[in-house]
Structure 1
Amino acid sequence: MSPTRLSTVVLDAHDAHELAGFYLRLLGYEVRAEEPHWVLIGPPPGTGGTSLAFETEPAYVPPVWPGRDPGDQQMMLHLDIQVDDLGSETARAVAEGARLAEYQPQDDVRVLFDPSGHPFCLWQAQ
């Protein structure tokens, strides 16, 4: 077994607590730890899933997706979130503060932006 393992994905934001709140509501996660400028959230015990952390970065610049101009802030990563009902979960994500991307590359995936502008995808298995 490898002595290393990926434990958490960290997203920068203007306000770590605000962005953590969005993902808490969206994913049904729980707060694991928090500090004034950092929050760690994760799935309820025994349910599986990946922990997310959020760090306040005053100079944070949201990525542009899809990329348009050479000087745009590049998307560094995105989250894929599997759902049972793409339509209802897209509507719920928007109600929680997400914004639907104008460009949608696939019928079985919805690209959205979280309140800090990070792209994420909701997808439904066929």
Structure 2
Amino acid sequence: MATPALATVVLDCSDAHELAAFYAELLGWPITAREPDWVLLRDPHGGTGLACQAEAGYVPPAWPERPGAQQKMLHLDFQVTDLAASSARAVAAGAAPYDIQPQEDVRVLRDPAGHPFCLFLH
């Protein structure tokens, strides 16, 4: 039996092209495929890709989680060597920081679709 390989993580959103443009800018990854409601980015160094898929009725998750609010299903962690510069780059690309920051060596931000993601120091 062959072992599956994780090829792509897919993020639901209301606008796949907007969200893909954000992650392409943040990560420096090329967009390798486009459809009306789906966009694929690939790491130029190999590894798992990232896709954005538009869904009717998409509701952004709340963070921190709270009862009765849309819960997140996952979040992305990005390892960085300069937290301040990486945070500034993310904000310039369209991210927004949360008021609550749980640790000094981690920054929690939300992408344009409202998904929380973390930048953390190596």
TM range (shorter): over 0.9
- The residue number in structure 1 matching 2:97 is 100
Q: Give the deviation of 1:48 after TM superposition.
A: 3.3
TM-score by length of 1: 0.92
2:41–2:50: 8 Å Cα contact kept in structure 1?
A: yes
1:109 pairs with one of 106, 111, 118: 106
Distance 1:124 1:57 in 2: 33
Deviations 1:15-73 (A, max 9, x none): 000000000000000112111110010111xx2342001111120000001012x2100
- Structure 2 residue corresponding to 1:54, chosen from 44, 52, 55: 52
Distance 1:67 1:97 in 2: 22
* Residue 16 of structure 2: aligned partner: 16
**Which amino acid in 2 is paired with 1:37?**
D
Q: Which residue of 1 aligns with 2:82?
A: 85
- What's the counterpart of residue 116 of structure 2? 119
| Cα distance between partner residues in 1 of 2:97 and 2:77 | 15
Question: Is 1:32 aligned to residue 29 of structure 2?
Answer: no
CA contact (8 A) 2:6 2:48 kept: no
Deviation at 1:92, TM superposition (A): 1.1
Q: What residue ranges of structure 2 are gaps of 5+ in the alignment?
A: none
Alpha-carbon distance in 2 for matches of 1:5, 1:50: 9
Measured after TM superposition, the shift of residue 2 of structure 1 is 4.1
> C-alpha separation between the residues in 2 aligned to 1:33 and 1:76?
24
Alpha-carbon RMSD across the aligned residues, in angstroms, is 1.2
CA contact (8 A) 2:101 2:107 kept: yes
| C-alpha distance in structure 2 between counterparts of 1:119 and 1:50, whole Å | 19
- Give the count of matched residue pairs: 122
Identity %: 61
CA distance in 2, matches of 1:3, 1:78: 24
